[in-house]
Amino acid sequence: MRPIGIALIGYGGIGRVHALAYRSLLFHYGLPADAIRIVGVATGHAETAERAAREIGCEVWTDDYRTLLARDDVHVVDICTPNHAHEVAVLAAVGAGKHVYVEKPLALDVAQARRMVQAVSGTQLKGQVTFNFRFTPAVVRARQLMTAGFTGRIFSFHTRYNRSSYIAPEKPLSWRLSREAAGGGALFDLGSHALDLVHFLLGEVSEVNATLETLIPERPTAPGSPVKALVDVDDLDLLQLRMRDGTLGVVEVSRMGTGATNDLQIEIFGELGALRLSSNEPDWLYLYDTRASDRPLGGMRGFTRVETGQRFDGQVMPDWTMPMNFIRSHAESQYQFLKSIWEDRPPQPDLADGLYVQRLMAAAERSSADRRWVKLNEV
């Protein structure tokens, strides 16, 4: 197992999550202490980079990430910057011969995402997008059951991702509320996760009919400031999706979901069975089996809560019965990416999956603007 050195670019909230996950996965899989190492961290300011390095315990800090790309002991570049900085960092890292691990969404738009996919295509370099919800036990088990035919023909599905993070009108503007920096609002921030799970569990989308709304059109320019500026991204999104096989579904995304903390839910209704799962119960999957009445104790139909647990291949700690947490899904995502390097196999979800989600979001934006169904091949 060749030791892997990591350069972390960006150290906001999600940068801390990535750093903690890297540290924990050594223990989850019983890896040698030198199997992975965060070599250095880069932020926009030298003082914040130095503070981050001391927190992480790494050797190098800088306000110019290109310094890290020039190092021979850096093999992977983990990009946790605001969305507008993803493309330039990915292209620079690939140009320096480094593997890339990129926070979602991949880009500001489809054109940027395509350039990133093209940069990695035809090389031996690996590129993965952080769609960490794929790695929760309930999602893993749901995919296994669907692949085995548990649900039969899918009739419909409903995916919801709600947070209440922007319900206060006095919450000031930030990069996540700026189209220039974020590319989009709730759709890019939360919807990218929801749409990736639709793709992962249900397959290809044919067309989209969407309504995107900005519910608080002005916000303070700074905390406590009486000066306000326009918000140019979405707060609430309602999407109808028609899959390639004709199945219809709904995706609802909101950062105005009063009472919700970080609530991603999926319901899938099929001819033979149904599935329900929630990010708030990542170790449990709810099943409905229409064949239950054919069994000896017939007449006991109903949704059954079944354990999924942390049955990750190769995990030595914690015991599978212990409850999953958010950091653990990031660690599993990172581990699968690092394994793709060690085993020289394609990573999943790769940059092409990130591009696919980018196209879905672009189709939703065009649909909302034009007030019509938009086929995915239009974007």
Question: What pLDDT does 293 receive?
Answer: 64
Strands, sheet with 154-162, edge to edge from the N-terminal-most edge strand? 304-307, 284-289, 273-278, 263-270, 154-162, 248-254, 236-243, 205-213, 374-375
Neighbouring CB atoms inside 10 A of 280's CB total 12
Mean pLDDT, to the nearest integer, of 204-230?
97
Query: Which of 334, 371, 363 lies closest to 126 in space, CA to CA?
Result: 334
Model confidence pLDDT, tens digit, residues 77-89: 999 999 999 999 9
CA dist., res. 290 & res. 320, Å (int): 29
Q: Name the CA dihedral angle for 279, 284, 288, 289, rounded to a multiple of 10 degrees.
A: 140
CA dist., res. 170 & res. 68, Å (int): 39
Domain boundary assignment for the chain = 4-133, 134-320+357-370
Question: What pLDDT does 294 receive?
Answer: 63
Query: How would CATH label the architecture of 4-133?
Result: 3-Layer(aba) Sandwich (3.40)
Residue 1: band (very low, low, confident or very high) from pLDDT cuts 50, 70, 90 = confident
**pLDDT reading at 324 higher than 90:** no
Question: What pLDDT does 63 receive?
Answer: 97
Model confidence pLDDT, tens digit, residues 31-77: 999 999 999 999 999 999 999 999 999 989 999 999 999 999 999 99
Question: What pLDDT does 120 receive?
Answer: 98
Assign 250 to helix, strand or coil. strand
Mean pLDDT, to the nearest integer, of 347-368?
98
Query: What are φ and ψ of residue 210, in 5° steps?
Result: -135, 155
CA dist., res. 38 & res. 166, Å (int): 33
The CATH T-level fold of domain 134-320+357-370 is Dihydrodipicolinate Reductase; domain 2 (3.30.360)
**pLDDT reading at 335 higher than 80:** yes
Mean pLDDT, to the nearest integer, of 92-107?
98
**pLDDT reading at 327 higher than 70:** yes
**pLDDT reading at 253 higher than 90:** yes
Question: What pLDDT does 79 receive?
Answer: 98
Q: Which residue has the tokens 């099943």?
A: 287
Cβ atoms 232, 188 nearer than 8 A: no
Sorted by sequence, the CB contacts under 8 Å of residue 301 that are 6+ apart come out as 288, 289, 290, 292, 293
Cβ atoms 201, 250 nearer than 8 A: no
**pLDDT reading at 314 higher than 80:** yes
Strands 127-130 and 236-243, sheet pairing: unpaired
Mean pLDDT, to the nearest integer, of 355-375?
98
**pLDDT reading at 298 higher than 70:** no
Cβ atoms 44, 65 nearer than 8 A: no
Q: What value does the mean pLDDT of the chain take? A: 95
Question: What pLDDT does 331 receive?
Answer: 96
Mean pLDDT, to the nearest integer, of 178-196?
98
What are the tokens at 172? 């000031």
Assign 369 to helix, strand or coil. helix
More confident residue, 158 or 321: 158
Question: What pLDDT does 264 receive?
Answer: 97
Model confidence pLDDT, tens digit, residues 287-296: 999 987 666 6
* CA R_g for the chain: 21
Q: Quote the percentage of the chain above a pLDDT of 70.
A: 98
Question: What pLDDT does 315 receive?
Answer: 83
Neighbouring CB atoms inside 10 A of 115's CB total 14
Mean pLDDT, to the nearest integer, of 320-325?
76
**pLDDT reading at 166 higher than 80:** yes
CA dist., res. 35 & res. 106, Å (int): 27
CA dist., res. 86 & res. 107, Å (int): 6
